[in-house]
Structure 1
Amino acid sequence: MVGSKLFRTGVTKAGVTEVAPRLAEFEADVQGLVDAHMETLLSVCLLASEYGTGPVHGGRIDLLGLDENGSPVVVEYKRGVDAGVINQGLFYLAWLLDHRAEFERLVRDRLGTIAASQVLWNGPRLICIAGDFTRYDVHPVREHRRSIDLVRYRLFGSDLFGLETVASVSGGIHMARRAQRQAVARTAWDVQGTSMMEELAGAVDEALLGLGDGVNRVERKQYRAYQRLRNFACVCPPQRSKLLVYLKVNPARVELIPGFTRDVSGLGHHGTGDLEVQLRNSGDVERALHLFRTSYAEA
């Protein structure tokens, strides 16, 4: 990837050999690879590929999906650098907002009635995957009111594929409505916890948002999700004496401490992630920071 280098170790006397990055020969090669592994790469459930938007719009959306928080997703692909990919994606995002019932029918047919009733319309996402982007792409995205991710891809050798987030912004349909929704969400959290737990939730929020640029927070009734391209942390509303955070960290790779960390793979819980972290005070937040960073780095 641009700005990054990949090396194979132990294959020559020199010890390392650089694996040169390359673009796909055809756009369809990138789309086919990502579509086939959409949930692993982007944590998005594929609903439809090459979806026709009808005679009025007269186009085909590369991919329609639903992310792990229930937000609708439009994905657009370009093999190389193409200034039109963002505008094309925004065009289809506008179509999506005008055809909510049609999208919810897709969700119902693919995932069932419950999933269709829980679609989160306050933050539909556009993900643009391309060979590269210019600064003229990145700047307007950061000024936009929509949720947009610009993702650069590269192929390495014969079997390595890389994705790098170039820019990521969160948006809402209208800023006033978004602020109102967040105020309602805060109230829902406040009534469930003591003031100490509310302060603890604020410290966790600050720690997770401060891990790096492009961290988006998604408010759901059952949890708050913190995401880059994918969720890396989900925080449940405060309980009487503790706050539960779920991270996308392999529990087998950390030392589990009773009363602090727990393997919840295979156990039902709100949000996503197999490692549960139980926080009871500010000291626990400090103890958990390295786990937060690990999950952030892998998202």
Structure 2
Amino acid sequence: MADIKLFNINGKVKEYQSGNVTLEKELQTVIENNMETFFGVTFLASEYKTTDGGRMDSIGIDENHCPVIFEYKRSMKENVINQGLFYLNWLLDHKDSFKVLVIEKLGLKEADKIDWTMPRVVCIAGDFTKYDESAIKQMNRNVSLIRYKKFGSDLLMFEHINENVATAIPDTDTQTTKTKSTDKTFDEQLKTADESVKTLYQDLTNYILSLGDDVSETHLKLYAAFKKIRNIVTVVALKKKLILNLPIDVTSVTFEPGFSRDVTNIGHWGCGAVELHLQNAADFEKAKPLIDRAYNEN
């Protein structure tokens, strides 16, 4: 890892000395207490027991309603990636157990929203080897590698160093799907959209992915999500237009009838209270400054 230096430039310049949090409990506690702020994930349980005697370090559910397993690497020799994948496979075989956990913590309404198409593992460590980074590219599972560094006594940095985005898993469990028979999946939405909308989506995809190497695209059940560590843009495809949702402050946006609106108190599929309607290239150009803000502010 290239050494990252952090300085306080208020008055006399002072360098913060970097170090590692005493692994693993201190770091785990900080993350569990602030999981929503750090990663956009609602914390559900610590040391979650599996039926085979294992314990997941932390488990939660993200803003797309997908399960997320957190594993913390104690040493360079520990194969935390394989451990996380083992727990992920267990979870996919025990969906009812996860639903019960969500019901206990968040209620039945939230449990009915669980999306099993993109469950993932987040591995957090002071550093990873080149073999770790190479290994996740060979796996058809969603795995994120997050490097941390502590500066002084009160600054904690996370660096999103690598992510593998796998093909969505078909969700055939009618007991855990929120998709009604009349709702099209995102891929179905895009397939039946007008050619102009398909072209618009491709242009949108190219633009968002060009914002940085830290952006990835995933197709969930009902919408597409572009994300860094957390969502920056979600997209629903209709026959004649694209609907974008952006997680930016609604009070900082001037809304335009027919193009944008505040959906804070209106039900919608995507994530973010700023909703944009894109029907053509002109709408796309108007949307770009807001998309840039979503990238920079999340």
1:275: which partner in 2?
A: 274
Contact 1:264/1:274 (CA < 8 Å) preserved in 2? yes
TM-aligned CA deviation for residue 97 of structure 1: 1.6
Label 1:87 to 1:161 Cα distance change in 2 as closer, same or farther (>3 A).
same
Q: Which of 62, 73, 78 is the matching residue for 1:67?
A: 62
Q: Secondary structure at the match of 1:236?
A: strand
Q: Secondary structure at the match of 1:128?
A: strand
Residue by residue over 1:15-68, the C-alpha shift from the partner in whole angstroms, topping out at 9 and shown as x without a partner, is x322222211231110000000111111111221101113xx322110121111
Label 1:202 to 1:119 Cα distance change in 2 as closer, same or farther (>3 A).
same
TM-aligned CA deviation for residue 257 of structure 1: 5.3
Label 1:6 to 1:51 Cα distance change in 2 as closer, same or farther (>3 A).
same
Label 1:92 to 1:207 Cα distance change in 2 as closer, same or farther (>3 A).
same
1:27-176 aligned within 5 A: 27-54=24-51, 57-79=52-74, 81-172=76-167
Number of aligned residue pairs: 285
1:236: which partner in 2?
A: 236
2:186: which partner in 1?
A: 185
Residue by residue over 1:176-200, the C-alpha shift from the partner in whole angstroms, topping out at 9 and shown as x without a partner, is x9xxxxx963333444x44323322
Q: State the AA in 1 paired with 2:23.
A: F
The whole-number CA distance in structure 2 between the counterparts of 1:23 and 1:200 is 45
The whole-number CA distance in structure 2 between the counterparts of 1:73 and 1:50 is 13
Contact 1:71/1:120 (CA < 8 Å) preserved in 2? yes
Label 1:210 to 1:83 Cα distance change in 2 as closer, same or farther (>3 A).
farther
What fraction of aligned residue pairs are identical, expressed as a percent?
37
The whole-number CA distance in structure 2 between the counterparts of 1:9 and 1:262 is 40
TM-score (norm 2): 0.84
Unaligned runs of at least 5 residues, structure 1: 178-182
Contact 2:189/2:238 (CA < 8 Å) preserved in 1? no
Contact 2:115/2:221 (CA < 8 Å) preserved in 1? no
The whole-number CA distance in structure 1 between the counterparts of 2:201 and 2:168 is 26
Q: Larger deviation: 107-116 or 124-133?
A: 107-116
1:245: which partner in 2?
A: 244
Label 1:81 to 1:252 Cα distance change in 2 as closer, same or farther (>3 A).
farther
The whole-number CA distance in structure 1 between the counterparts of 2:60 and 2:272 is 20
TM-aligned CA deviation for residue 267 of structure 1: 4.7
Point out the structure with the larger helix share: 1
Instruction: State whether structure 2 residue 17 is matched by structure 1 residue 20.
Output: yes
Unaligned runs of at least 5 residues, structure 2: 173-183
What stretches of structure 1 move > 6 A for 4+ residues in a row? none
Instruction: State whether structure 2 residue 293 is matched by structure 1 residue 294.
Output: yes
TM-aligned CA deviation for residue 293 of structure 1: 3.2
1:180: which partner in 2?
A: none
Q: State the AA in 1 paired with 2:234.
A: C
Contact 1:263/1:276 (CA < 8 Å) preserved in 2? yes
